[in-house]
């Protein structure tokens, strides 16, 4: 059997895969088993920050793999400690817990919020509030956090203690908080899976002020928006926010599994020995990869991301068949006249890999995609939308 037949025989069919087997790549170009080349405008859903098989990234991973590939969290390892330092210095957060995915990073944030609130406000203060249309992961608890009912349907009962409100509806949040039961609010600054929907800056700053006044934690899910994607290290920095907890994953290690929950001043001491753990969390190879990624996200590199984003937007905005362009930085959503799935299929046939998010075409190219590839991809996307 070939790969597709084997996959269809033996893999639980939770993914609707395209009939393409990707076998290799370099940077923003990937190749399928038949030798066809594609410009990758999805980067593994915002994971391969510097594209596929980037030389500097490979060197960082290879050096670590040759020294020690895993050690139990009962011992210290340098990449893990240095990555935590780098994340704290770059964000002003105080402590980090490492896991392996975005959902686990959010699980950690939820545990941190529940423990912090129980200790500071009493055991009745345990509700985590998130936004309608949000996405926070697929574990039973992060599904409960996810504000989209269709993800919940098959998996009842979910973890209790979650409530949702509509972005912009601060009064709705205030009524949820009125009985003192809310420990934290968890938001994505740009709802990724929800259709690349950025939050309104004035709503976000009013939200922050209200939470501060009520001593409710502000937690930001930067799983998809983080690590340079929006032109700042983290998307909340575009909004001038000071979160209490930040979660990230995806692009942090540029293509190896990692999750990180960053704890701020209020929550930095919430966990003690035995409160949380993960066999692979803080894995030295993932952390070495992430250190390499983070060290390359300098101010000048990030301003390059902003210029590429401006170029991509200008090539797509107002093009025939493109009704609107949403998002920030290199995280864009296109509302198109043709159904998004048809556009993605046409792009693929013409050598460009794109994604969908709800009814939009979603673009998440590598942060270092060369300008000529960006222009070429935009041309193919425009043709597919027209």
As measured in angstroms, the least distance from the Cβ of 100 to ligand PLP is: 8
198 binds ligand PLP (CB under 6 A): no
136 binds ligand PLP (CB under 6 A): yes
Q: How many CB atoms lie within 10 A of CB 53?
A: 14
CA 337 to CA 347: how far, in whole Å?
A: 15
Alpha carbon 156 to chain centroid, angstroms: 26
Nearer to ligand PLP, 101 or 267 (CB): 101
Nearer to ligand PLP, 262 or 378 (CB): 262
| Backbone phi, psi, residue 101, to 5° | -160, 170
Q: Which stretch binds ligand PLP (CB under 6 A): 20-28, 135-143, 160-168, 338-346?
A: 135-143
Long-range contacts from 72-77, C-beta under 8 angstroms, 24+ separation: 72/279, 73/277, 73/278, 73/279, 73/281, 73/282, 77/282, 77/284, 77/287
As measured in angstroms, the least distance from the Cβ of 289 to ligand PLP is: 15
Q: Which stretch binds ligand PLP (CB under 6 A): 210-218, 221-229, 296-304, 347-355?
A: 221-229
CA 193 to CA 158: how far, in whole Å?
A: 20
- Counts for the chain of helices (H) and strands (E), in that order: 12, 17
Nearer to ligand PLP, 135 or 236 (CB): 135
Vertex 308 angle, CA 317 and 322, to 5°: 15
As measured in angstroms, the least distance from the Cβ of 146 to ligand PLP is: 8
Please list every residue from 48 through 107 that binds ligand PLP, using CB under 6 A: 101-103, 106
CA 130 to CA 136: how far, in whole Å?
A: 9
CA 219 to CA 184: how far, in whole Å?
A: 7
As measured in angstroms, the least distance from the Cβ of 223 to ligand PLP is: 3
290 binds ligand PLP (CB under 6 A): no
194 binds ligand PLP (CB under 6 A): no
Please list every residue from 108 through 127 that binds ligand PLP, using CB under 6 A: none
Q: What is the binding site for ligand PLP (CB under 6 A)?
A: 101-103, 106, 135-137, 188, 192-193, 221, 223-224, 249
């Amino acid at each position: 059997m070939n790969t597709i037949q084997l996959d269809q025989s033996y893999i639980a069919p939770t993914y609707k895969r395209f009939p393409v087997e990707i076998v290799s790549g370099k940077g923003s170009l990937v190749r399928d088993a038949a030798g066809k080349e594609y410009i990758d405008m999805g980067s593994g859903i915002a994971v391969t920050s510097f594209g596929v098989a980037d030389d500097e990234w490979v060197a960082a991973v290879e050096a670590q793999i040759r020294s020690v590939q895993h050690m139990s969290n009962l011992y210290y390892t340098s990449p893990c400690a240095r990555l935590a330092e780098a994340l704290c210095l770059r964000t002003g957060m105080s402590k980090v817990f490492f896991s392996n995915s975005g959902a686990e990073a959010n699980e950690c944030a939820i545990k941190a919020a529940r423990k912090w609130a129980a200790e500071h406000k009493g055991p009745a203060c345990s509700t985590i509030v998130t936004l309608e249309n949000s996405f926070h992961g697929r574990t039973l608890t992060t599904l409960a956090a996810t504000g989209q009912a269709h993800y919940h349907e098959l998996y009842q009962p979910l973890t209790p203690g979650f409530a949702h409100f509509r972005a912009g509806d601060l009064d709705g949040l205030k009524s949820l908080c009125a009985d003192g039961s809310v420990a934290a609010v968890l938001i994505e600054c740009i709802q990724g899976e929800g259709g690349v929907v950025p939050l309104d800056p004035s709503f976000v700053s009013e939200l922050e002020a209200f939470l501060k006044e009520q001593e409710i934690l502000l937690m930001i899910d930067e799983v998809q928006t983080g690590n340079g994607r929006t032109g700042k290290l983290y998307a909340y920095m575009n909004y001038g926010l000071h979160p209490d907890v930040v979660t990230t994953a995806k692009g942090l290690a540029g293509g190896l599994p990692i999750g990180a929950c960053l704890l701020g001043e209020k929550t930095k001491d919430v966990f003690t020995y035995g409160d949380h753990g993960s066999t692979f969390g803080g894995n030295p190879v993932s952390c070495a990869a992430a250190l390499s990624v983070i060290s390359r996200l300098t101010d000048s590199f990030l301003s390059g991301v902003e210029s590429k984003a401006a170029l991509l937007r200008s090539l797509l905005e107002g093009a025939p068949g493109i009704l609107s362009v949403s998002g920030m930085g290199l995280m864009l959503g296109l509302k198109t006249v043709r159904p998004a799935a048809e556009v993605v299929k046409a792009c693929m046939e013409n050598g460009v890999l794109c994604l969908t998010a709800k009814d939009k075409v979603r673009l998440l190219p590598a942060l270092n995609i060369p300008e000529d590839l960006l222009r070429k991809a935009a041309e193919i996307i425009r043709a597919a939308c027209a």
